[in-house]
Structure formats: structure tokens, C-alpha cells
Amino acid sequence: MRGGKNLNPANLLTLVRIVIIPIVVVLLLFPGKKESLAAGVLFLVAFLTDAIDGMIARRFEMVTDLGKLLDPLADKLLVSSSLIMLIPHGRVPAWIVAIIVAREIGVTALRGMASADGKVISASSLGKVKTTLQAAGTFCLIVNYRYMGIDFHTAGMVLIVPALVLTAWSGVDYFVRYLREVF
């Protein structure tokens, strides 16, 4: 069903993820323990829909152009908006967020330019590991407080540092692959 119906179950899950984003953002306006946990749970639900929608799209041949556009965009919006909201609460340094957001914008622009030329720069395994580390680190930074003996803020910072390294590395990788496609 490639290029077929846009409102299939996979794309509906992606839309659910996009709808969750402003709810997470609003919850992050309030740095309390309950609000942080609620935002973390919603963030986790949204991230899990990413794995499920991709699996459904591939398994049942429901891959669409809309899904190819919205799925990575939803991931970037979820992580970037959440990290931005954590800056005023001192949960993550602004410079880390700036690098992550700049990379996401840059890669999206490169993929868009390649697409306009009829070329596809697909997600690499490096980019997928980066996304997983970013999501895990962001989740922990959102939850922030100590639960079940786990200091989620410390865990988040421990995860966000390698995520930052992979963010920069995969950004360079996309740029090199783009240059190879163009030249």
C-alpha cells in the first residue's frame, strides 16, 4: 500500500504522538514531581508509538509519503520541544539543547533538499541509536526526581552526553552522505 491511504493505523499513531507533544510541553511548564512524572509517562507513550507505528507500517505495507514525512518530524518535535522546556528548570544545559536542535534542523533540511532532487537519505543505524539515547535521556530528565532509588536527573545527564556525541556524529554522517548523493 505504498503511497496509498494516508489515514492508516500507522499514520494515526504518528498523529497521536504529535497531539501528545503540546500536552507534554504544558506539563513541563510546572516543575513539580507529579507534573514531571505525568509528562514523563506521556513522553514514554509517545516514544513507544514511534516503534509501533513503524512496525505496523512495514509489516502491513502501510508505508506512505505522509508517514515518511511525519514520523521523523514527530520524533524531532517531541525530543526538541521537551528539551527546550527543561532549560528554564535547570535540568539540562542550554548549549546541549542548542546542539541537538541545530542538528535536527540541519538534517531535516538536508533530507528535504535531497528529496527535492529526487534522492533519499535514509535514516542510518547511527541515527536510530542516537534517537533512542536522546529519548531515554530526555525521559529521565523530564521525570527528574528520585523514584525507586533511581536519581532520574543523574541518569538523564549520563544518557544525554553520549546522545550528544552521537547527535553530532550522525549529523556529520548525514552531511557526508548528502554530499555523496549530490556529487
For residue range 1-41, what is the model confidence (pLDDT) as tens digits?
444 478 899 999 999 999 999 999 999 999 999 999 999 99
Whole-number pLDDT of residue 160? 98
> What confidence score (pLDDT) does residue 93 get?
98
Residue 98 has pLDDT above 90, yes or no: yes
pLDDT digits (tens, 9 = 90+) for 122-180: 778 888 899 999 999 999 999 999 999 999 999 999 999 999 999 999 999 999 998 98
Q: What is the reported pLDDT for 127?
A: 84
* pLDDT value, residue 183: 79
Q: What is the pLDDT at residue 62?
A: 87
Average pLDDT over residues 89-110: 96
The three three-digit cell numbers of residue 15, written as one number: 498523529
Class in CATH terms, 9-182: mainly alpha
Q: Is 37 exposed, middle or buried (0-12, 13-18, 19+ CB in 10 A)?
A: middle
Q: Where are the beta strands (DSSP E) in 17-158?
A: 146-147, 150-151
Give the chain's length. Answer: 183
Q: What is the pLDDT of residue 100?
A: 97
As a whole number, mean pLDDT of residues 80-88 equals 98
Residue 63's pLDDT band (cuts 50, 70, 90): confident
pLDDT of 1 reads 43
Residue 2 is predicted with a pLDDT of 47
Q: Report residue 108 as a C-alpha cell.
A: 531535516
CA 6, 17, 129, 183: dihedral to nearest 10 degrees? 40
Residues 6+ apart with CB under 8 A from 128: none
Q: Please state, in angstroms and rounded to a whole number, the distance separating the CA atoms of residues 164 and 102.
A: 11
